[in-house]
């Protein structure tokens, strides 16, 4: 039996390949993923036309030392960037694409251009306070079970890094309007600078999904749309806020307290019990990077450079403690007075 004919779109992580003929046999489809493309096919690579423009934040990597990276921007007509080898205007970066190379006017090697990821933006951007690091922010999103369209409270905006991570996953489907993340900050300076930080990520891509509020949480909560699907408390007195927050979270919804000390963990667990919340778990997120690459083994004898081998070892940079994640769930609709205290702490 002849192979059935199917209609398909072949997608590559870096480029989309479109075929002139709409009909592709199963055999052709399998062959199209090999290194040798079918000779009778008219394949055209279609790449993104994204180029850097004024207002963008660009990650630049030095060509002479690719371990040295920094963020530049937002790009302005008057701005400039440089190092000990030279200087160039921001205008030299405008119109360039990611991975383009830009050298200094004096001919010295300059930079390789990149669009920063959320992790790179969080770690490399100027900071007015310590951010929630990406390892913790990713764990928070996972533990809370954030889905598109969820309404989430972020109490303790800080520099805005956690609000960005939450909005990336909770932003509603296309066509929906209005913010899904409500972030509250008591300090006016942190509130103002966090808005600037969020607006700097990919030209404010996630700004429409984040509503900023400045003031005390207990005073702001009654003015917010409720109920919340989930909430995060990144506050020194997180345990004192649980009594105000519990009625604002959906039944069985999750609340996560992000605190640095074990004494605060115990305070949050106790306050959660008093507010009708049960403890799910307490987590400390570890992170260890590894060096993986090829190197050469030194051997004796003139002219012998040694054999090439793979080197795999953990990096020597220590990963310090950042905080504990205390995950609680709202059990206020659960039957009361059944079983002892240990059993009532469980679902």
Q: Please state, as a whole number, how many other Cβ atoms lie within 10 Å of the Cβ of residue 193.
A: 20
Distances (CA, A) of 82 to 55, 86, 161, 193: 18, 6, 27, 25
| pLDDT score, position 66 | 85
Dmax (CA) of the chain = 83
- The pTM score is 0.77
**What domains lie within the chain, and their CATH numbers?**
5-46 (no CATH), 58-116 (3.10.330), 121-287+321-344 (3.40.50.150)
In degrees to the nearest 10, what's the CA dihedral of 92, 94, 100, 106? Answer: 0
Is there a contact between 328 and 144 (Cβ–Cβ < 8 Å)?
Answer: no
Mean pLDDT of the chain: 83
The pLDDT of residue 63 is 93
CB atoms within 10 A of CB 151: 21
Lowest mean pLDDT among 14-18, 40-44, 97-101, 207-211: 14-18
Give CA separation, 346 vs 11, 330, 339, 342, in Å.
46, 11, 11, 7
* CA dihedral (254, 256, 262, 264) positive or negative: negative
The secondary structure of residue 202, as a DSSP letter, is T
Two structure tokens written together for 295: 């190197």
| Secondary structure element (H or E) that encloses residue 267, with its range | helix 262-274
Taking only the tens place, the pLDDT of each residue in 244-285 is 999 999 999 999 999 999 999 999 999 999 999 999 999 999
Give dist(CA 254, CA 228) in Å, integer: 9
The yes-or-no verdict on residue 124 having pLDDT over 60 is: yes
């Amino acid at each position: 039996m002849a192979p059935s004919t199917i209609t398909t779109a072949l997608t590559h992580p870096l480029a989309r390949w479109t075929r002139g003929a709409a009909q592709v046999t199963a055999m052709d489809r399998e062959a199209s993923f090999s290194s040798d493309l079918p000779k009778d096919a008219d394949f055209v690579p279609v790449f993104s036309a994204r180029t850097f423009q004024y207002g963008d934040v660009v990650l630049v990597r030095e060509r002479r030392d690719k371990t040295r990276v920094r963020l530049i921007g937002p790009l302005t007509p008057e701005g400039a960037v440089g190092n000990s080898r030279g200087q160039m205007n921001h205008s030299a970066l405008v119109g360039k694409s990611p991975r383009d190379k830009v050298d200094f006017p004096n001919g010295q090697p300059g930079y390789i251009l990149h669009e920063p990821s959320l992790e790179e933006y969080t770690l490399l951007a100027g900071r007015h306070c310590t951010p929630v690091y990406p390892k913790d922010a990713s764990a928070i999103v996972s533990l809370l079970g954030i889905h598109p369209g969820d309404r989430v409270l972020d109490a303790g905006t800080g520099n805005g890094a956690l609000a960005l991570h939450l909005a990336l996953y909770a932003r509603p489907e296309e066509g929906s309007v209005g913010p899904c993340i409500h972030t509250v900050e008591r300090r006016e300076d942190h509130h103002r600078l966090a808005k600037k930080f969020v607006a700097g990520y990919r030209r404010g891509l996630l700004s429409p999904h984040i509503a900023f509020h400045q003031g005390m949480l207990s005073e702001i909560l009654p003015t917010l749309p409720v109920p919340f699907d989930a909430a995060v408390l990144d506050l020194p007195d997180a345990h004192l806020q649980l009594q105000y927050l519990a009625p604002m979270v959906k039944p069985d919804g999750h609340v996560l307290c992000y605190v640095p000390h074990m004494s605060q963990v115990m305070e949050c667990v106790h306050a959660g019990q008093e507010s009708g919340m049960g403890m799910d778990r307490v987590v400390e997120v570890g992170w260890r990077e590894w060096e993986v690459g090829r190197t050469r083994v030194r051997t004796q004898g003139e002219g012998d450079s040694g054999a090439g081998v793979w080197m795999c070892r953990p990096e020597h940079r220590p990963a310090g403690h950042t905080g504990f994640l205390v995950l609680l769930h709202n059990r206020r609709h659960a039957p009361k007075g059944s079983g002892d205290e240990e059993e009532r702490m469980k679902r």
